[in-house]
Amino acid sequence: MTIQQYLTKVETLYKTGNAREHSYRGDLQNLIMAILPDILVTNEPARVACGAPDYVLTRKDIPVGYIEAKDIGVDLGSKTLKEQFDRYKSGLSNLVFTDYMDFHFYKDGELTTKIAIAKLENGTIVPQPENFDQFTQLIKNFAQTVSQTIKSPTKLAQMMAGKAKLMADVIEKSLNYDDQEGKRSTIKSQMLSFQQMLIHDIDNKSFADIYSQTIAYGMFAARYHDPTLPTFSRMEAAELIPKSNPFLRKLFQDIAGFDLDTRLTWIVDELVNIFLASDVALIMKNFGKSTKQEDPVVHFYETFLGEYNPALRKARGVWYTPQPVVNFIVRAVDDILKTEFDLPQGLADTSKIKIKKKAITQTASKKNAVIKEVEVEHEVHKVQILDPATGTGTFLAEVVKHIHKKFEGQQGIWSKYVTKDLIPRLNGFELLMASYAMAHLKMDMLLTETGYKPTDDQRFRIFLTNSLEEAHPDTGTLFSSWLSDEADQANAIKRDAPVMVVMGNPPYSGVSSNNGEWISKLIDDYKYIDGEHFKERKHWLNDDYVKFMRFGQHFIDKNGSGVLAFINPHGFLDNPTFRGMRWHLLQSFDKIYTIDLHGNSTKKEVCPDGSPDKNVFDIMQGVSINIFVKTNTKKVDELGKVFHYDLFGKRDLKYDFLLENSLNTINFNELKPEKPFLLFVARNNEGASEYKQGFGVNEIFTINSVGSVSANDGLNISFTKEEQKNKIIDILSIPENLWRLKYKRAKDARDWTYLSAYNDALKNNDNEKYVKTSYRPFDIRWSLYTGNSRGLYSSPQPKVMKHLINENNLGLIIGRQGQAVGSMPWNLSFITNTITDFNMYYRGGGMLFPLYLYPESNIQQTLEGNNTRVPNINPTIIKQIADGLRMTFTYEKETESNVCFANSDEVRPEFRQSFAPIDLLDYIYAVLHSPTYREKYKEFLKIDFPRVPAPTDADQFWKLVRLGGELRQIHLLESPTVEKYITQYPEDGDNIVTKPVYKNGNVYINDDQHFANVPEVAWNFYIGGYQPAQKWLKDRKNRELNYDDILHYQKIIVALSETDRIMKEIDIIKLE
């Protein structure tokens, strides 16, 4: 076929008016094959539907180029094509984009030339014969491209990432296609097996991601061992995968075979071509050995991720433990084994012990043979080491490096030692295939670098398994049988190995998906102290890191002695809900060393001198190094000793400290943990006895709960009632797929699903159920509140909220843990007359204490037959307070004139004889806003509900009641004082908030408009961990402020300024 004949056929099809993009594919295929007789041009619709370009050009089964065609007349530079074109350009080095007339040639992602063999004029295809010869030559050159040798590790990582990214897209589309068609392809079967046996909530996209990375790094490992650089193929890769990694080897034997899904072969072969042009062993030599990053595999993977998925690289702190941290932990464990366990060689120990294992045996008699289970003795190494969250193998690799240093000058015995006394002791469990593949690769490269020469097919004892689950049955597929093999061998370690050292960096995930029966039962132990349940409804014991710590403790307890060494979030050190965990750790271990590395940006932690405190990871949670030692010499009823050290400062300072110190050189502070909280941090207990004499707020107001948990604020929270009604109309009328798109809610959550929300809205779309909610301090929003759990709201807390819906009531909002706001003064106290949101305070968890409890309709009545309310106040405590004041407590207050009149400090004698719930609330509110109280008891306010001193002097009581009442009315914006604005809004404009800025006493909402004369104290004032004057505006970014908004903001400024004034007045009054 000539170019002219091609254009004639295309013109004929085009003029029918029915032709589409695919109509011309056969003609272009024939043209290219006519120009390139030695090239096979393939166009397979199944491949194309799953992300492959339209045409694959191969010579002797080796891909040489790709062509992606769009419909005639389509603008090849269109933004709508950018995502697809960019994906191809990053993953395919030799590529053409065309609309069947215009051809754009790309090499390594860069446009090299353009040429048109025809153009569209007035609906007619007009040939451009002057370009025919040049086009023919360009196509020939396109097919003769020669791969350049890749020498740069950065270039290799980038090219691998491009292919892997494209492969992930192809795999995801293939899986989606299988779902739509109801097919059970090989790749789909593997995904389902993986889902059933390892990660139960994995979706197509996530599986495609880890599968493509696994193939990429499997190829990398194979090429690393390839002695025949001129050749490389899928089949060769399968042979080259080290026998030390049997799972990956089996996977690649599957990939190498003829049964590989044809939708994937082209992109897998593209990956092969990259490695064909690379000498991986040479490239990786000495790569990545910078000062703080001595791990070439991780360094290479960081470069890979930067191209593959920058978001993953940004979050890499979750996976990669800094080398100084790993080095310190490994050295510390080595020292402990030497000093506490009398093992002079520490981690290098070769001693063995005998253990009993269960085995199946058969009696000698053949006729009446009986199969039975017996116990047999088995000799194993004593110092068994386990990393239950191996990741890329950083900790196990550091152990190898540390031990290898002891063999300096003894290289002749190193290989034999590794085979007989090192590999059998190094155990690792990993959940993600990509990390698992890299852990094996890292161990392989490291041992090769040390001069180790394997003598047999000994596998590394790093297994692809879920540490926190027991084995799942084989699902009958080949892939699942491989996973079962891994799980079975991992279970043998869990069941039989006398693990003496557990170390690593476990995953941190507050919402854990590891909820199996085995680990859940172990975690239940952390809910008891001395046999008594801790009675916490909300806690963080389900965080993955807690489960891994319990996992590690279980193994050390089972062994009878050993060391557990982790780096993990430091919340367990002093969070009240972890007190049961701390109790059990103290029961199990003789000595506990904790180095609190701080760096908690969510708590806004700073150094003691006020300078910035940085995390050793790129994460927000503060972390600590924790080393638990069990020698089995402690008495049963004796608690372990706790040694604590605080390390603040910049990241490099912390790294240097860890590299320069050992466990023996750190000046630890020995703690004496006391009940009820058994804290693992140093606390100043001055004033503890008098503080404990007060009443806990949670003891006074007996009914309480956290705020309502929406789990979907985009649907449930609105600025106006009308806006909220429109959202409900949307969920009831828009198709689910379009609703999810509009509201950016692609997935359901554990306690919130679209269907449940839809049904709840359908049954409860009543006008009276649209209510106001205290969303943030001074920020009242609207919501449709039904009170149904796992409906519109995930956890609406109806037991408490019902007392504030359309009722005349007040609620005190208290933050239990002052540590949530970090080093700033305690400020977790506010008031409401509406339902509240869980995140009313920074980092959530504000507890709502209603003043009164309302009865269910027609249940509780007075003698007159009217419904009545009762105070939510502990009668025992109120009697003590009344007796101390020599007053009578009344359920209702007839007048408040004794505390709120004429700005007088005097209290009228006729009102001294009784007090009501509102008086007690105002007294408490005043005490909680006393700067002296907040400073004096700051250590205790960090860890539990505040305790308020009982009033014993009537004059003091009424003075505080008056100030507390004034503060309450101001915070509810009900006081006439807030109407007396101290600010101005002088400029006209669009009133749209762009970026709030405070400058010279003015708060600018945009370039042209501002609130004038805003006191700095109001702008910076904290309530509930937020700065309301700033938070209120930031939450309205890109919104237009209406008339009421502008006045409301000025009321907030008055309220904050008055709060500062009243707090100073409160401080004049002596509380004791």
User: Minimum mean pLDDT among 103-112, 286-295, 735-744, 908-917: which range?
Assistant: 286-295
| Residue 369 confidence (pLDDT) above 80 | no
Can you give the pLDDT at residue 895?
54
Tell me how far apart the alpha carbons of residues 737 and 358 are, in angstroms, rounded to a whole number: 54
Strand order in the sheet with 94-98: 40-42, 55-59, 62-69, 94-98, 102-107, 110-116
What residue ranges define each of the domains in the chain, with the CATH number in brackets?
3-143 (3.90.1570), 153-317 (no CATH), 517-666 (no CATH), 980-1060 (no CATH)
Q: Average pLDDT in the 651-668 region?
A: 96
In this predicted structure, the answer to whether residue 318 has a pLDDT above a threshold of 60 is no
**In angstroms, rounded to a whole number, what is the distance separating the alpha carbons of residues 98 and 24?**
12
Among 679-688, 708-717, 901-910, name the one with the lowest average pLDDT.
Answer: 901-910
Give just the sign of the alpha carbon dihedral 389, 393, 398, 401: positive
- How many residues are given for the chain? 1072
909-921: per-residue pLDDT in tens?
555 589 999 999 9
Q: Look up residue 896 and give its amino acid.
A: E
What letter represents residue 862's amino acid? Answer: T
Residue with tokens 């409301």: 1048
Average pLDDT over residues 1021-1036: 97
CA distance 962 to 127: 92
Name the maximum alpha-carbon separation found in the chain.
Answer: 112
Q: What is the pLDDT of residue 869?
A: 92
Alpha carbon separation from 255 to 211, 234, 272, 327, 437 (Å, rounded):
12, 7, 12, 38, 15
Confidence band of 234 (pLDDT split at 50, 70, 90): confident
Residues 538, 845: contact at Cβ < 8 Å?
yes
pLDDT digits (tens, 9 = 90+) for 206-233: 889 888 988 998 899 899 889 998 899 8
Instruction: Please determine, for residue 908, whether its predicted confidence score (pLDDT) is greater than 60.
Output: no
Q: Find how far residue 1029's CA is from the centre of its chain.
A: 30
C-alpha–C-alpha distance, residues 348 and 371, integer Å: 40
Question: Which amino acid is present at 788?
Answer: N
Among the listed residues 392, 921, 419, 421, the one whose alpha carbon sits nearest the alpha carbon of residue 701: 921
Give the model's pLDDT for residue 859: 39
Q: Would you call 16 exposed, middle or buried from its count of C-beta atoms within 10 A (0-12, 13-18, 19+)?
A: exposed
- Radius of gyration, alpha carbons of the chain: 35
* CA 302/CA 295 separation, integer angstroms: 11
Query: Is residue 409 pLDDT above 50, yes or no?
Result: yes
- 989 with 1009: CB under 8 angstroms? yes
Per-residue pLDDT at 292 exceeds 70: no
pTM of the model: 0.76
Structure confidence at residue 860 as a pLDDT band (50, 70, 90) = very low
Residue percentage of the chain with pLDDT more than 90: 58
Q: Within 767-916, where are the H helices?
A: 798-801, 875-885
pLDDT range class, residue 961, cuts 50, 70, 90:
very high
Rounded Cα gap, residues 106 and 112, in angstroms: 6
pLDDT band at 145 (very low <50, low <70, confident <90, very high): low
Residue 899: is its pLDDT beyond 60? no
The mean pLDDT value of the chain amounts to 88
The amino acid sitting at 142 is: F
Number of CB atoms found within 10 A of residue 998's CB: 17
Strands 461-464 vs 371-381: parallel, antiparallel or unpaired: unpaired
Give whichever of 297-301, 761-765, 866-870 has the largest mean pLDDT. Answer: 761-765
End-to-end CA distance of the chain: 102
Question: Of 750 and 476, which is predicted with more confidence?
Answer: 750
> Given this model, what pLDDT does residue 368 score?
67
DSSP 506: -
Element (H, E) at 49: helix 45-49
C-alpha to C-alpha distances, 97 to 37, 85, 523, nearest whole angstrom: 21, 8, 57
Give the mean pLDDT of 896-909: 47
Residue 579 binned pLDDT confidence (cut-offs 50, 70, 90) = very high
Summarised one tens digit per residue, pLDDT across range 36-76 is 999 999 887 677 777 888 999 988 777 889 999 999 989 99
Report CA dihedral (114, 118, 120, 126) to the nearest 10 degrees. Answer: 160
How far apart, in whole angstroms, are the C-alpha atoms of residue 796 and residue 836? 10
Question: Is the CB of residue 967 less than 8 Å from the CB of residue 1059?
Answer: yes
Are the CB atoms for 219 and 235 separated by under 8 Å?
A: no
Euclidean distance between CA atoms 434 and 390, whole angstroms: 12
